Amino acid sequence: MKLLVLGGTSGTGRHVVIQALEKGHQVTVLARDRTKAGLEHEHLRFADGDVRNAQALGEAMAGQQAVVSAIGRGRSFKSENLIADSVPGVLAGMQSHQIKRLLFTSAIGVGDTFRDAPLPMKIFARTLLRGIYADKIIGDEMIRKSGLDWTIVQPVGLTDGPLTKRYRVGEHLPLSGLATISRADTAHFIVDRLDDPSTFGKTLVLAN
């Protein structure tokens, strides 16, 4: 598959790129600074640009069959409206280039899954991460109304732990305490379900 990865130079997105290349996919990464990825591969190319730039997004999407977004604010508590500002361009670019498949990384507790989140995560969502979550809610809702073959991925607390391939997936999961999942396992799910129609139109929670 020809795959465009947004947010592919670090974190979960970088794991998606590595695992997708290992599976034989052809990967394009849209990046402001391609050197941050520290990756080279015969099936990997970089497109220069920012996710907020609709023109750069459109050019990067030419010829793609799917889009994976792992964009986020990292460890920052300030959203800077990253999701709300970038999702319209992502959706417009996909529709323009007739790309149907979108896997979008969000977070547990965004939207309806707030009721399933453990108490510590609810507290974070309503305090330190309030702006981040408000931004993600806007993006998730736009995606749900897009008409695309979307899957919204909502991992619990992300870690830099190893790839285990052992994790739980569901629209509703029993969770407690500070539940976690590694970025590598989150990427494994995304790459494994790139063309899985059973995940279309679903918001799926990931946890160990």
* CATH number, position 180: 3.40.50.720
pLDDT at 118 exceeding the cut of 90: no
pLDDT at 197 exceeding the cut of 80: yes
Three-state DSSP class for residue 71: coil
pLDDT at 75 exceeding the cut of 80: no
Please write the tens of the pLDDT for every residue from 22-66: 999 999 999 999 899 999 999 999 999 999 998 999 999 999 999
Domain of 168, in residue numbers: 2-207
Average pLDDT over residues 74-95: 91
Which token pair is 50?
Answer: 């920012």
The pLDDT score that the predictor gives to residue 152 is 98
More confident residue, 6 or 79: 6
The pLDDT score that the predictor gives to residue 129 is 87
Q: Give the CA distances from residue 124 to residues 115, 117, 129, 136, 155, in Å, rounded to whole numbers and listed in that order.
A: 14, 11, 6, 14, 15
More confident residue, 128 or 66: 66
Task: Kindly give the residue spans of alpha helices, DSSP state H, lying in the chain.
Answer: 11-22, 54-61, 82-96, 119-126, 130-144, 183-192
One-letter-per-residue 3-state SS of 11-33: HHHHHHHHHHHHCCCEEEEEECC
Q: Report the domain count for the chain.
A: 1
pLDDT at 76 exceeding the cut of 80: no
Q: Is 131 left (phi over 0), alpha (psi -120 to 50) or beta?
A: alpha
* Alpha carbons 185 and 165: distance in angstroms, whole number: 6
Going by pLDDT thresholds of 50, 70 and 90, the confidence category of residue 102 is: very high
Going by pLDDT thresholds of 50, 70 and 90, the confidence category of residue 94 is: very high
Going by pLDDT thresholds of 50, 70 and 90, the confidence category of residue 177 is: confident
Are 70 and 84 a contacting pair, CB within 8 Å? Answer: no
Supply the pTM of this predicted model. Answer: 0.94
Going by pLDDT thresholds of 50, 70 and 90, the confidence category of residue 116 is: confident
* Alpha carbons 79 and 56: distance in angstroms, whole number: 21
| Dihedral sign (CA 200, 170, 161, 32) | positive
* Alpha carbons 164 and 149: distance in angstroms, whole number: 27
pLDDT at 117 exceeding the cut of 90: no
pLDDT at 79 exceeding the cut of 90: no
